[in-house]
Amino acid sequence: MKLFKLLLVALPFVLFSCSKGGDTPTPTPPTPTPPTPTESAVAFSIAQDPGASGILGVVGTSQTISVKVSSTLPSAGVNIDVTVRKDLDNTSVFTTSTSSVAADNTVNITGLTPGVLCTATVVVTSKSTSTNNKTVTFKLAAK
């Protein structure tokens, strides 16, 4: 009987020790980080048309080309690299690198030799994302 009384006294303590207790506030989820804006892919065109032959005929030893960026310009701007090489021996005739934040850009290609076929390579690269670039090549020959 003594054991039974002890059990009756201990039972409420055991039951209260397993109670839920006070309510805890629900944790606030962390604020999500805003997504990083991505640049639109670089797109541009060369205003000079090489015509049906695919070769731009140049009168004289220089030619001005217009590089028109048609995509949204990156906030940091773009680099415009122009290289002209002779098709015969792959030697460099002209090279320039220009930094720009404008959509319309002109480049004056110089050093062309009459009667020599050349290949011009124009690369426009975003300053902030080096993998965001586009390349256009075309042939030109001075007459």
Q: What is the pLDDT of residues 79-134, one digit of tens each?
A: 999 999 999 999 999 999 999 999 999 999 999 999 999 999 999 999 999 999 99
Residue 16 falls inside a structural domain: no
Residue 134 falls inside a structural domain: yes
**Closest-CA residue to 124 (of 86, 56, 74):** 74
Residue 19 identity (one-letter amino acid): S
DSSP 8-state assignment for residue 30 = P
- pLDDT of residue 66 exceeding 90, the answer is yes
Residue 56 falls inside a structural domain: yes
Residue 128 falls inside a structural domain: yes
Say how many CA atoms lie within 13 Å of 133 toward its Cβ.
Answer: 15
- pLDDT of residue 136 exceeding 60, the answer is yes
What range defines the domain where residue 95 resides? 44-142
Q: What domain count does the chain have?
A: 1
Supply the CATH number for residue 63's domain: 2.60.40.2550
CA distances from 127 to 42, 105, 108, 122, 124 (A): 11, 16, 22, 16, 9
Per-residue confidence band for 6, with pLDDT thresholds at 50, 70 and 90:
low
User: pTM of the full predicted structure?
Assistant: 0.73
Per-residue confidence band for 22, with pLDDT thresholds at 50, 70 and 90:
low
For the record, the structure tokens of 23 come out as 């309510």
Residue 33 falls inside a structural domain: no
**Closest-CA residue to 139 (of 55, 51, 26):** 55
CA dihedral sign, ordered 54, 58, 63, 64: negative
Q: Highest-confidence range of 21-30, 31-40, 96-105, by mean pLDDT?
A: 96-105
Report residue 98 CA to chain centroid gap.
Answer: 17
Residue 58 falls inside a structural domain: yes
Residue 136 falls inside a structural domain: yes
Residue 20 falls inside a structural domain: no
